[in-house]
């Protein structure tokens, strides 16, 4: 898989087992080239994988994971650890600190990936969607698109990732660098907002000849990131969520569909993979986005993306019950609930032959299990259902889960809602003074009798809908009604 894949799979370990996250970060840092480039993937015994694609989003995923790891665990010492850069063997091995390689990848993102003429982040040969050019653009036009094309998905993701990066730099005391990152992030906001067409965000700019993609149909990929990055006004949020529900979510029994309709010229069959299939990786961002505005919708989408739910809908398809692939066929497909394969290998009808990967006999049905996306994203989304947000000086909860009582706990984080109040813990690696805040309903705030930290009553403040308190080091807290 791509370098972004193990990074995604590490996300739930941020709060379950942070040391695993550190190992994934180290592995990815060892792939980084001298100029900050990250290869598509690694094959064999540590060799760069031959690939059709040179993605434009890999630096974003790494910056995001490192930023959230540092902010959540407060393990700032990790940034000073030395890493052997690729190639990691031989006399000429170059070593740099985690922080140095992180800044190297950021500079590569700015100067090599960069922005196009509309002020959006370039798409290069692909973004998250490997097939966004290879599968949708005529072959004789692809070189031009790789030079000038721009990705609305990358741009929306950039705003959130650089917000977290700036927060992390602020936490580290690197105020000037934090402001520099924040300033670049702001240059993306206006160009992104200009891609709102009154119904949803467009998907990408290809070239002067080919124009925009995604004006006439809803491509799901950039929409959640735009919601997460909070670039829309409330009325636009309502319109976007309404259209996602009607066009992508409601027609599907097992999770939102990537496209609101199929594309006839795509190399993948209708309803499969990037031609309007279902992707847990993208639906994970959708659940996160919905959780910011509607706990009910987020929880509903979360349940629809679980193995348990798929087993009820498609009990005769063995995969998807205890494990599965990275994509399911949608209701647009002749074979809904299955995964990507070439129909020709069943029918032997020459008219069913396709181009691209499937023409080479590569079918997801050959080994349709043990992809980690459908495992990792539902776990990671738990923190969105409980409303966890990470800041440069602590953590914040904006609980939206539509349940009267529930509890989540890990070694790092606990959050419990009961009729008698809220409680939890925060156990970061390093010492410091941390701020805990909860955004609560007014009827809850007026019931607050006391706040306890480590079994002692402590001071707190209420401002608007937020109750906030501080303490040092490892914190066990209670809000009593």
Query: Are 361 and 283 part of one and the same domain?
Result: yes
Q: Is residue 311 part of a domain?
A: yes
- Residues with Cβ within 8 Å of 463's Cβ and at least 6 positions away in sequence, in order, are none
Query: Are 361 and 462 part of one and the same domain?
Result: no
In the chain, the number of structural domains is: 2
DSSP reduced 3-state for 313: helix
Domain termination site, one of 385, 414, 433: 385
Query: Are 380 and 257 part of one and the same domain?
Result: yes
Closest CA to 30 of 101, 80, 108, 91: 101
The residues with which 213 forms a beta bridge, in sequence order, are: 204
Query: Are 428 and 329 part of one and the same domain?
Result: no
Closest CA to 72 of 391, 410, 299: 391
Dist. CA 90–CA 106, nearest whole Å? 27
Nearest 5°: phi and psi at 51? -150, 150
Query: Are 298 and 424 part of one and the same domain?
Result: no
CATH assignment at residue 392? 2.60.40.1180
Query: Are 238 and 294 part of one and the same domain?
Result: yes
Dist. CA 338–CA 317, nearest whole Å? 7
pTM of the model: 0.97
> Which pLDDT value is given to residue 348?
86
Domain termination site, one of 362, 385, 408: 385
Dist. CA 424–CA 442, nearest whole Å? 21
**255 neighbors 282 (Cβ within 8 angstroms):** no
Give the CA count within 13 Å in the CB-facing half-sphere of 334: 7
> Which pLDDT value is given to residue 352?
79
**Using CA atoms in the order 198, 156, 169, 171, what is the torsion angle rounded to 10 degrees?**
60
Query: Are 288 and 351 part of one and the same domain?
Result: yes
Query: Are 374 and 427 part of one and the same domain?
Result: no
What does each C-alpha distance from 254 to 125, 243, 299 come to in angstroms?
Answer: 30, 18, 13
Dist. CA 379–CA 459, nearest whole Å? 34
Query: Within its chain, how far is the Cα of 108 from the centroid?
Result: 21
Q: Is residue 342 part of a domain?
A: yes
Q: Is residue 97 part of a domain?
A: no
Domain of 353 in residue numbering reads as 234-385
Query: Are 268 and 368 part of one and the same domain?
Result: yes
> pLDDT for 38-84, tens place per residue?
999 999 989 999 998 999 999 999 999 999 999 999 999 999 999 99
Helix (H) / strand (E) element for 414: namely strand 413-418
Q: Is residue 300 part of a domain?
A: yes
Query: Are 352 and 422 part of one and the same domain?
Result: no
> Which pLDDT value is given to residue 264?
83
Query: Are 374 and 402 part of one and the same domain?
Result: no
> Which pLDDT value is given to residue 267?
75
Query: Are 325 and 418 part of one and the same domain?
Result: no
Q: Is residue 364 part of a domain?
A: yes
Domain termination site, one of 385, 406, 438: 385
Helix (H) / strand (E) element for 377: namely helix 373-380
**Using CA atoms in the order 375, 379, 385, 387, what is the torsion angle rounded to 10 degrees?**
-140
Helix (H) / strand (E) element for 433: namely strand 433-439
Residues of the chain with pLDDT under 50: none
């Amino acid at each position: 898989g791509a370098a972004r894949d193990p990074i995604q799979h590490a996300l739930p370990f941020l709060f379950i087992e942070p040391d695993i996250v550190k190992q994934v970060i180290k592995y990815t840092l060892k792939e980084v080239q001298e100029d900050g480039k990250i290869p598509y993937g690694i094959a064999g015994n540590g060799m760069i994988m031959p690939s059709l694609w040179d993605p434009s989003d890999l630096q974003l995923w790494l910056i995001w994971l490192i930023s959230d790891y540092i902010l959540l665990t407060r393990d700032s010492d990790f940034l000073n650890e030395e890493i052997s850069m690729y190639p990691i063997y031989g006399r000429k091995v170059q070593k740099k600190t985690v922080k140095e390689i992180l800044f190297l990848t950021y500079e590569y993102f700015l100067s090599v990936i960069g922005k196009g003429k509309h002020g959006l982040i370039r798409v290069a040969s692909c973004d998250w969607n490997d097939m966004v050019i290879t599968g949708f653009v005529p072959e004789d036009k692809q070189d031009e698109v790789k030079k000038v094309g721009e990705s609305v998905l990358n741009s929306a993701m950039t705003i959130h990732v650089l917000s977290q990066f700036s927060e992390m730099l602020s936490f580290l005391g690197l105020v000037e660098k934090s402001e520099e990152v924040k300033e670049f992030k702001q240059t993306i906001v206006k160009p992104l907002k200009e891609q709102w067409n009154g119904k949803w965000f467009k998907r990408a700019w290809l070239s002067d000849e080919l124009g925009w993609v995604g004006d006439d149909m809803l491509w799901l990929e950039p929409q959640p990131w735009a919601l997460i990055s909070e670039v829309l006004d409330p009325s636009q949020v309502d319109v976007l969520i309404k259209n996602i529900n009607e066009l992508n979510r409601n027609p599907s029994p097992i999770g939102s569909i990537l496209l609101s309709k199929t594309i006839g010229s795509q190399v993948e069959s209708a309803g499969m993979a990037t031609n309007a299939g279902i992707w847990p990786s993208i639906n994970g961002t959708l659940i996160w986005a919905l959780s910011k505005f509607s706990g009910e919708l987020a929880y509903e989408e979360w349940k629809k993306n679980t193995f348990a739910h798929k087993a009820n809908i498609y009990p005769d398809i063995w995969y998807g019950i205890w494990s599965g692939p990275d994509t399911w066929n949608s209701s647009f497909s002749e074979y809904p609930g299955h995964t990507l394969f070439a129909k020709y290998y069943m029918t032997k009808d020459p008219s069913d032959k396709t181009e691209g990967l499937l023409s080479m006999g590569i079918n997801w049905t050959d080994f349709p299990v043990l992809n980690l996306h459908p495992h990792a994203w539902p776990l990671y989304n738990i923190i969105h259902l409980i409303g966890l947000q990470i800041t440069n000086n602590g953590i914040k909860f904006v609980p939206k889960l539509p349940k009267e009582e529930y509890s989540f706990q890990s070694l790092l984080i606990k959050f419990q809602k009961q009729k008698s109040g809220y409680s939890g813990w925060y156990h970061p690696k390093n010492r410091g003074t941390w701020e805990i805040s909860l955004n609560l309903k007014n009827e809850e705030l007026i019931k607050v009798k006391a706040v306890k930290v480590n079994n002692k009553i402590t001071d707190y403040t209420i401002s608007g809908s937020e109750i906030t308190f501080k303490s040092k080091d490892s914190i066990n807290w209670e809000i009593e009604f």
